[in-house]
């Protein structure tokens, strides 16, 4: 999905951009991102994607289910919560891309709009990117997510995946265009 979007946005294939990066001689991940953003007008998401593909450090180079399994090792009781969140989020549209990483799973439309991270043995931290929404109650300021998310919700049971949370997720999805 990201690869097709990259070609649509830039008019060039992933292989082309990998060649551009290799020809530049830049190797460090952040430096590649900065180069693609400043010299070629990339968004962070596409620059990050090309940087990972160039260095073969992306989650797709590994088995996605292995990455998710590793995240929930010792935290197996949280897996049903993740599965429910995953099911609800991908049902928002066929333009949702799921990107498992070592410690979290990103859900991306044009931009990342949700990040799911098994934070402790008893809690999933759900990061959301919602513009112009004041933190209140269980919708906290982003905390550990920095600028990639504007808010965090701590999810400890399936009952926390309620209409209120799903509404925030939908709002984040709709704003990710």
Q: Give 57's pLDDT tier (boundaries 50, 70, 90).
A: low
Domain range enclosing 163: 64-175
Give the side-chain half-sphere CA count within 13 A for 29.
10
84 and 47, same structural domain?
Answer: no
Contacts of 58 (CB under 8 A, 6+ apart): 49, 52
Q: Is 74 helix (H, G, I), strand (E, B) or coil?
A: coil
Tell whether pTM > 0.95: no
Give yes or no for residue 149 having a pLDDT over 70.
Answer: yes
Alpha helices in 59-159 (DSSP H): 64-71, 79-90
69 and 53, same structural domain?
Answer: no
Looking at residue 58, its pLDDT comes to: 62
Q: Is 140 helix (H, G, I), strand (E, B) or coil?
A: strand
101 and 76, same structural domain?
Answer: yes
Give yes or no for residue 82 having a pLDDT over 90.
Answer: yes
Give the side-chain half-sphere CA count within 13 A for 44.
6
* Lookup: tokens for 138: 């269980």
130 and 101, same structural domain?
Answer: yes
135 and 87, same structural domain?
Answer: yes
* Lookup: tokens for 175: 């704003």
- The total domain count for the chain is 2
Q: Give 64's pLDDT tier (boundaries 50, 70, 90).
A: low
107 and 72, same structural domain?
Answer: yes
């Amino acid at each position: 999905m990201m690869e097709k979007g990259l070609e649509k946005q830039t008019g060039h294939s992933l292989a082309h951009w990998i060649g551009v990066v290799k020809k530049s001689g830049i190797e460090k991940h952040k430096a590649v991102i900065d180069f693609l953003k400043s010299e070629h007008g990339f968004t962070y998401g596409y620059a990050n994607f090309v940087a990972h593909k160039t260095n073969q450090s992306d989650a797709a180079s590994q088995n996605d289910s292995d990455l998710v399994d590793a995240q929930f090792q010792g935290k197996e009781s949280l897996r049903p919560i993740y599965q429910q969140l995953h099911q609800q989020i991908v049902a928002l549209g066929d333009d949702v891309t799921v990107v498992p990483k070592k410690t979290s799973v990103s859900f991306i439309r044009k931009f990342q709009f949700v990040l799911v991270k098994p934070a402790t043995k008893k809690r999933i931290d759900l990061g959301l990117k919602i513009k112009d929404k004041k933190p209140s109650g269980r919708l906290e300021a982003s905390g550990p997510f920095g600028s990639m998310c504007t808010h965090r919700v701590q999810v400890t049971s399936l009952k926390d995946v309620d209409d209120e949370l799903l509404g925030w997720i939908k709002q984040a999805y709709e704003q990710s265009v």
